[in-house]
Amino acid sequence: MLNVVIASATLDFLSVNVWHILMAVGNLLILVLILKKFLFKPVQNILRQREEEINKTYSDADKALSDAENEKAEYQKKLSAAKSEADSLISSASERAKAESAEIIQNARAEAERRRKNADEDIELARRKAVEEMRDELGEMVIDLATKVVGKEIDPKTHEELINEAIESLGE
Amino acid sequence: MKLEIEVTGAKILLTLPLGITVTETQVNMWLVMLGIAVFCIWLTHGLKVRPTSKRQIVAEYIVKTAENFVTSNMGQKWKWFVPYVAALFSLAMFSSLISLLGMYPPTSDLNTTAGWAIMTFILITFYKIKTNGAFGYAKSLTEPIFIMTPMNILGEFATPLSMAFRMFGNVASGTVVSALLYAALASLNNAVFGWLPGILGEAAEKLPILQLGLPAVLSLYFDVFSGVLQAFIFCMLTMLYIKSAAEVED
């Protein structure tokens, strides 16, 4: 004979006990609170924090990008402004240089003209001087020649006058 | 030879005044709850926004799976219901699985499953009244014709009753079948080895040779498969009944 007895003081296999039903419900509700406090709340908090961090990262990146775009546009504006300024500087400088060079050329021309005039005057002067000298020398030569030819001293003063008259009448 | 098997409920461990008794059911359920609480605390300590531990991955996976389980069956606005379903599922499942450790499974006590089913019934009725109004709820019991009212009321109570007995029956029958099988194998063991003469026979009778193996396979079905499946079914039914109770009928 085999006798399987599980325990001496037990409930019936099918028993209904209001306290036990209430305890089962209470246990379930307590476990709900336990899971809420120790599993769901901490994990959901972490998940929310992670979402916030990701959103912040994205918005930061967007902001940095728009800042960079703005700065780029500003630099381009500045660059083009500098370029146009440089262009205007160069063109004004070249205009001034042109004007200056024209002035210099004009001055040089005037100077050259003036010098040519002076030179012409000098040449004229020299020519006259030379003519004068030649006249003098010619006179002396003629007197010398005449003295030698006549062999006799003629009064130089009288003769000179005579000769000058002769030369003058010969013309310039 | 006669086989006598006594199938009983939980052992009474403590009797308090007012006839309140504390049995194995309660104590084992508290142990299960303690185990779940300790596991949760261990899982979620030192959580970081950028996870560095496998623990956190597991914790997040459990939370997301539970949320997905509830919201895919009930919709996004029932997210607050996730902890209840998670508690119900984990308590039901581990209360059944505890029998693997040779402990009395609290879900083989009708009072346990009845308590949970009554909770579901209360929620169902609450949402029916909240959605249709008390009058609308009372009116729905008289449809399609007035004669059907007793049937409809019976139908309302049939839901928690069937839920309670489904889980209780599955888990408790596993215990009964296991006990029967053990007894049968023991007598078979006796019959096979008992004829050995003298001290050899007595030793063989006491050695549970045939009890090895087969009960383990059976326990795999009754304890593991049935326990998990019944917990799942109980949660599914709870969610679907409550959801359909909260839906406005057109």
So where are chain A's domains?
A: 18-170
DSSP assignment letter at A43: H
- Sorted by sequence, the CB contacts under 8 Å of residue A8 that are 6+ apart come out as none
Please say if the pLDDT value at position A60 is more than 70: yes
**Partner residue facing A28 (CB), from B87, B183, B187:** B87
Contact across the interface for A13 and B186, Cβ inside 8 Å: no
Average pLDDT in chain A: 85
Are residues A17 and B115 in contact, defined by beta-carbon separation less than 8 angstroms?
no
Best residue of A27, A30, A52, A53 to probe chain B, by most B CBs closer than 10 Å = A27
The predicted pLDDT at position B38 comes to 94
The predicted pLDDT at position B200 comes to 67
Q: Considering only CB atoms, which chain B residues are within 8 Å of A44?
A: 63
ipTM: 0.84
CA angle A89/A95/A96 to nearest 5° reads 90
Cα separation of A77 and B205, whole Å? 103
The predicted pLDDT at position B209 comes to 67
Please say if the pLDDT value at position B77 is more than 90: no
Q: Considering only CB atoms, which chain A residues are within 8 Å of B48?
A: 46
- What is the residue whose two structure tokens read 């010098």? A115
Contact across the interface for A30 and B33, Cβ inside 8 Å: yes
Average pLDDT of the segment spanning B188-195: 73
CA angle B131/B137/B138 to nearest 5° reads 160
Contact across the interface for A2 and B88, Cβ inside 8 Å: no
Confidence of residue A8 (pLDDT cuts 50, 70, 90): very low
Cα separation of B227 and A5, whole Å? 24
State what percent of residues in chain B have pLDDT above 90: 33
Best residue of A11, A33, A36, A48 to probe chain B, by most B CBs closer than 10 Å = A11
Nearest CA in chain A to B30: A27
B9 touches chain A (CB under 8 A): yes
**Partner residue facing A15 (CB), from B1, B3, B9:** B9
Q: Where are the domains of chain B?
A: 12-246
Cα separation of B104 and B12, whole Å? 12
Higher pLDDT, B159 or A139: B159
Q: Considering only CB atoms, which chain A residues are within 8 Å of B123?
A: none
Cα separation of A113 and A107, whole Å? 10
Number of neighbours of residue B3 by Cβ within 10 angstroms: 13
Nearest CA in chain A to B67: A40
Are residues B3 and B187 in contact, defined by beta-carbon separation less than 8 angstroms?
yes
Q: Considering only CB atoms, which chain A residues are within 8 Å of B86?
A: 35, 39-40
**Partner residue facing A40 (CB), from B29, B83, B116:** B83
Q: Considering only CB atoms, which chain A residues are within 8 Å of B40?
A: 34-35, 38-39
Contact across the interface for A4 and B40, Cβ inside 8 Å: no
Across A146-155, B142-151, B162-171, least confident range: A146-155
Across A126-130, A152-156, B36-40, least confident range: A152-156
Nearest CA in chain B to A1: B2
Average pLDDT of the segment spanning A140-167: 74
The predicted pLDDT at position A4 comes to 43
Please say if the pLDDT value at position B9 is more than 80: no
**Partner residue facing A43 (CB), from B10, B36, B60:** B60
> Between the CA of residue B187 and those of A118, B201, B227, what are the distances in Å?
158, 14, 29
Contact across the interface for A25 and B109, Cβ inside 8 Å: no
Cα separation of B131 and B137, whole Å? 9
Cα separation of B88 and B118, whole Å? 13
Are residues B113 and B168 in contact, defined by beta-carbon separation less than 8 angstroms?
yes
**Partner residue facing A16 (CB), from B26, B59, B110:** B110
Are residues B37 and B45 in contact, defined by beta-carbon separation less than 8 angstroms?
no
